[in-house]
Structure 1
Amino acid sequence: MTMPDPRPVVQVDIVSDVVCPWCVVGFRQLDLALQQQGVLAHLRWHPFELNPNMLPEGQNLREHIAEKYGSTTEQSQQARDRLTSLGAELGFTFNFNDDSRIVNTFAAHQLLDWAEEQGRQHPLKLALFEAYFTQQQDVSDQEVLLATVKAAGLDPEAARAVLETGQLVASVREKQQFWTGRGISGVPSMVFGGKYLLTGAQGTDTYAQVLQRCLAEAA
């Protein structure tokens, strides 16, 4: 007979996109805060598309950043260096290169919605982050997605059926609209205990403070 885990639990909802590097950083900072505070999270990932109109072939990442934010090549490289350094500190590898591409993530969000029903959403989200940022894979490609599904302990043929039937298209659109309708325009956006919203990667100390506040109120 296994004993129940005595650690307190805080619900954390994270609105996020698979191709958002700051979502990786924010999650890793949160994970560290949870470990430091001795707290468990009931974690749920929610869909957001940074580039909902991205074409199927995607776009070179540097070109995309220059077009969307007006960044110079030098600024883009500084941002990559900073992310790579932050990732390394948090135990995550960002492998940016000249061929890195931004891609459409709507199919990935459908599979994350499906994985939640299977109780495997979190492992799939982390596997997608690794596939895209560490392995530089195209997470809009169906075969890449199915391989990632398998790596997360899910059935790739069931996942294929989800994508080919489009059975979760409406569900994902509805969830996206729920969050954008509440003013979420950037990610990561984390909601703690159903009431405290933090947008952007806010750092381990900030997350620790919010977790403490949630626990104090629960007590």
Structure 2
Amino acid sequence: MSTPLKIDFISDVACPWCIVGLRALDQALEHLGDEVQAQIHFQPFELNPKMGPEGQDIFEHIAQKYGSTREQYQANAENIRQRGAELGFVFKQGDRRVYNTFDAHRLIHWAEGEGKQHALKEALFTAYFSQHANVSSHQILADVAQKVGLDRTRAEAILTSDEYTAEVRELEQLWVSRGVSSVPTIVFNDQYAVSGGQPVDVFVGAIRQIISEQSSVVNGAQ
């Protein structure tokens, strides 16, 4: 019998380790097969909530935020590129800009009720990291939503209003209040957390341990 597994995946579409972590988690769940019946809920987290609509050059941004040099960034980017390649994800090389992602989070929140949240999240990662698209642009966001089968007119209506603004802000504050300060953070069954873009086998081991611990609790209560 499959064990139900609730997964809250807290992340930002502007975080490269988040797509690495998501791909690894997906492959771990595929490996586990019928052992678990997982439901992934994507939760919002903004790495750069004060970023303006014009965005910022990536090298300028990391120098200001982290004090990193161009060489350090490029070395880290190559590491991420290799991890992505191992998981079947393409990180496009070259300069890109950092953008505000709040509107993307509003669409992701809406997409859950449409049964397209996972598809939209993955497509936004691809748009940003594989195509260097401006994921704060309403046109690009609507294009991506339409591409995964969501209603474009409805997406545009959301983007030009403040719909889901309060809900996303509340969720952001909720996860920060629960101690999330970096992404990805993956929370299983509201109790167990794994942080970072971990390898597939780490997720497999963590999920099996969670299943075992919960089974022990249930059996002990009987």
Same fold (TM over 0.5): yes
Match runs of 1:33-112 below 5 Å: 33-38=28-33, 39-98=36-95, 100-112=96-108
Which residue does 2:127 correspond to in 1? 131
Which segments of 5 or more consecutive residues in structure 1 lack a partner in the other structure? Answer: 1-5
Which segments of 5 or more consecutive residues in structure 2 lack a partner in the other structure? Answer: 216-222
- How far residue 49 of structure 1 moved from its aligned partner, in angstroms, is 0.2
Which residue does 1:3 correspond to in 2? none
Match runs of 1:172-211 below 5 Å: 172-211=168-207
Cα RMSD over matched residues? 1.3
Identity %: 46
Whole-angstrom distance in 2 between the partners of 1:12 and 1:31: 11
Q: Does 2:18 match 1:17?
A: no
Structure 1 letter corresponding to 2:29: L
Say which SS state the counterpart of residue 178 (structure 2) adopts: coil
Structure 2 letter corresponding to 1:106: F
Whole-angstrom distance in 1 between the partners of 2:205 and 2:77: 28
Structure 2 letter corresponding to 1:189: T
Which residue does 2:155 correspond to in 1? 159
Say which SS state the counterpart of residue 14 (structure 1) adopts: strand
Structure 1 letter corresponding to 2:59: R
TM (normalized to structure 2)? Answer: 0.92
Whole-angstrom distance in 2 between the partners of 1:160 and 1:135: 21
Whole-angstrom distance in 2 between the partners of 1:163 and 1:32: 32
Q: Deviations over 1:119-168 (max 9, x none)?
A: 21111000100111111110000000000000111001101111212121
- How far residue 9 of structure 1 moved from its aligned partner, in angstroms, is 3.6
Are 1:21 and 1:83, in contact at CA under 8 Å, matched by a contact in 2? Answer: yes
Say which SS state the counterpart of residue 111 (structure 1) adopts: helix
Structure 1 letter corresponding to 2:68: S
Q: Deviations over 1:165-185 (max 9, x none)?
A: 212111110010000111111
TM (normalized to structure 1)? Answer: 0.93
Are 1:54 and 1:104, in contact at CA under 8 Å, matched by a contact in 2? Answer: yes
